[in-house]
Amino acid sequence: MLLIMSTAASTSIAHFSTPASLHLSTAKNKKAALLLNSIPTSKITSPPSISKVQYGYGYSKKSSILTGFKPFSSPVMEWQDCTVKMEIDVPVGVAYKLYSDRESIPRWMPFISSVQVLKDKPDLSRWSLKYKALGQELEYSWLARNMQPTPNQKIHWRSLEGLPNRGSVRFFPRGSSSCQVEVSSYIQHSV
């Protein structure tokens, strides 16, 4: 997690930024950027002091008298959710087929660099996410298990290792030539 601060007079604005909060998609690919969302900006009413700014894990409100920091402790894990609904001008069967073909997803979802379905276990797939942010190349990967789908209605998954995540894609017909797609994803991160 990155901490970006700017101080103006006696008020500071802090923005906590994670890879998922960075605006990484182009205007053309907004609908495809489903895992991205932002963590709100918060105001700090006085200039930051060394005892109130967290650098990595281990900060606690109960700090050491000498250093202002409590010895390192285990991070607290929290699920961050992101749900996106979109109307698209294709029949529900076409949209379902695109999401069902996991290995072709990198062709139309720009931040997913690869998906490999395991040959001996077709319900498992290895995913890689790769992009640049703030001049750095960021990369995450995970092994996901596809749960039992409901054809033309629902696809859902849960990661087994790597980046902790789970989610679903739901499909709702809107006439014969369009549908609504609802993507919900949950990513676990430390706070």
The CATH number linked to 97 is 3.30.530.20
Do the domain assignments include residue 156?
A: yes
Can you tell me the mean pLDDT for 126-151? 94
Do the domain assignments include residue 184?
A: yes
More confident residue, 80 or 16: 80
* Alpha-carbon separation of residue 71 from 53, 66, 162 (angstroms): 15, 12, 27
Do the domain assignments include residue 106?
A: yes
pLDDT at 59: 39
Do the domain assignments include residue 104?
A: yes
- Mapping DSSP onto H, E and C, the string for 29-78 reads HHHHCCCCCCCCCEEECCCCCCCCCCCCCCCCCCCCCCCCCCCCCCCCEE
Cα Rg for the chain, rounded, in angstroms?
A: 20
pLDDT at 73: 56
Distance CA 153, CA 172 (A): 7
Do the domain assignments include residue 127?
A: yes
Domain of residue 96: give its range: 77-190
Convert the pLDDT of each residue in 5-63 to its tens digit: 333 333 333 333 333 333 333 333 443 333 333 333 333 344 443 333 333 344 344 44
In total, how many domains does the chain have? 1
Contact assessment for residue 182 and residue 88, using Cβ atoms and an 8 Å cutoff:
no
Decide if pLDDT at 89 tops 90. Answer: yes
Decide if pLDDT at 75 tops 60. Answer: yes
pLDDT at 57: 40
Convert the pLDDT of each residue in 152-165 to its tens digit: 999 999 999 999 99
126 has which bridge partners? 116, 143
Do the domain assignments include residue 52?
A: no
Please, which residues have CB within 8 angstroms of residue 128's CB and are 6 or more apart in sequence?
Answer: 112, 113, 114, 115, 139, 140, 141
Can you tell me the mean pLDDT for 51-79? 52
- Residue 175 backbone zone (phi > 0: left; psi -120 to 50: alpha; other: beta): left
* Alpha-carbon separation of residue 80 from 18, 165, 170 (angstroms): 11, 9, 19
pLDDT at 34: 36
Provide the token pair at 87: 């109307």
pLDDT at 79: 83
Do the domain assignments include residue 43?
A: no
pTM of the complete model: 0.59
Do the domain assignments include residue 165?
A: yes
Convert the pLDDT of each residue in 95-137 to its tens digit: 999 999 999 999 999 999 999 999 999 999 999 999 888 999 9
